[in-house]
Amino acid sequence: MSITTLNLLSQGDSATIISIGATGALRRRFAEMGLVRGETISAVKIAPLGDPVMYSIKGYRLAMRREEAAQIHVEAARTVQIESRVAHG
CATH of the domain at 41: 2.30.30.90
Give residues with Cβ within 8 angstroms of 33, minimum separation 6: 57, 62
Asked whether residue 60 is domain-assigned, the answer is yes
Q: Which domain holds residue 53?
A: 2-76
Asked whether residue 29 is domain-assigned, the answer is yes
pLDDT tens-digit readout, 7-38? 999 999 999 999 999 889 999 999 999 999 99
Asked whether residue 86 is domain-assigned, the answer is no
Asked whether residue 23 is domain-assigned, the answer is yes
Asked whether residue 40 is domain-assigned, the answer is yes
Q: Tell whether the model's pLDDT for residue 84 goes beyond 70.
A: no
**3-state class (DSSP) for residue 86:** coil
Q: How many domains does the chain have?
A: 1
What secondary structure, in 3-state letters, does 24-49 show?
HHHHHHHHHCCCCCCCEEEEEEECCC
* Predicted TM-score (pTM) of this structure: 0.80
The pLDDT assigned to 81 comes to: 46
Nearest CA to 65 among 3, 6, 4? 6
Asked whether residue 26 is domain-assigned, the answer is yes
